[in-house]
Amino acid sequence: AQTVTQSQPEMSVQEAETVTLSCTYDTSESDYYLFWYKQPPSRQMILVIRQEAYKQQNATENRFSVNFQKAAKSFSLKISDSQLGDAAMYFCAYRSLGAQKLVFGQGTRLTINP
Amino acid sequence: EPEVTQTPSHQVTQMGQEVILRCVPISNHLYFYWYRQILGQKVEFLVSFYNNEISEKSEIFDDQFSVERPDGSNFTLKIRSTKLEDSAMYFCASSESRQGVEQYFGPGTRLTVT
């Protein structure tokens, strides 16, 4: 079974600085999807960024980018120019190509200091 | 922008009682999901539903749980006889298709079993 691990329960960063959230996963599959979801307080989870395992190029969405290291089974999220609105719980998630379920990590709570 | 909605936001029930958690997925979506998050633990997949049938379920989703799409808009999760350990946040999600990579999440229902 696949597992996802986020080793940082909490992170904090100064506004306008860059922060990296870590995620590792375990799988025997070669094709899959990886995601970062953001959950602001009392709000629904929204997709921040996704990566298809067959793509070597790291995904980027505006200030959010990933460092996908397939061999190391690592999928970190970098947030550049952090903003107060980035404060949230961030979940890393895995999905097999042929399955529908998402497998989540424990989450990292990100605090932005003004 | 279309959103997944869930009602109620918080439900308190006594052990042994039946509860029904309600979700309205995004209107043109075809796949529906329930996840739960026990306080302090990971978000866990419960079940996926397509074409009025369960398409995938986890080992958590035992005979105490059932899902239904009673009309064209609602998607419900029923717990027949609640236990203390059912206390959790329950998230509904939907996606456009099986190949639809993104799952859109609702804000969750907090279930407290006393």
Q: Does the pLDDT value for residue B93 go beyond 90?
A: yes
User: Which residues in chain A are closer than 8 Å to B56, comparing Cβ atoms?
Assistant: 99-101
- For an interface test with A, the pick among B29, B56, B105 (most A C-beta atoms closer than 10 Å) comes out as B105
Q: Which CATH architecture has domain B5-97+106-113?
A: Sandwich (2.60)
Strands A10-14 and A108-113: parallel
Q: Do B7 and B22 form a contact (C-beta atoms < 8 A)? A: yes
Q: Does the pLDDT value for residue B19 go beyond 90?
A: yes
Nearest Cα neighbor of A102 from A90, A113, A111, A93 is A93
CATH number of the domain residue A58 falls in = 2.60.40.10
Q: What is the pLDDT of residues A8-47, one digit of tens each?
A: 999 999 999 999 999 999 999 999 999 999 998 877 889 9
Matching residue, tokens 């980018």: A65
B56/A99 CB distance under 8 A:
yes
Range of the domain at A50: 3-109
| A114 in a structural domain | no
A44/B35 CB distance under 8 A:
no
* Dist. CA B73–CA A80, nearest whole Å: 39
Q: What is the pLDDT of residues A52-103, one digit of tens each?
A: 999 989 999 999 999 999 999 999 999 999 999 999 999 999 999 888 899 9
Mean per-residue pLDDT, B52-61: 94
| A84 in a structural domain | yes
Matching residue, tokens 């209107």: B27
Compare CB distances from B107 to A33, A43, A106 and report the shortest one's residue. Answer: A43
Q: Look at chain A and report how many structural domains it folds into.
A: 1
A91 vs B: CB within 8 A = yes
* Dist. CA B64–CA B69, nearest whole Å: 17
What are the domain boundaries of chain B?
5-97+106-113
Confidence bin at B86 (pLDDT 50/70/90): very high
What pLDDT, on the 0 to 100 scale, is given for residue B99? Answer: 62
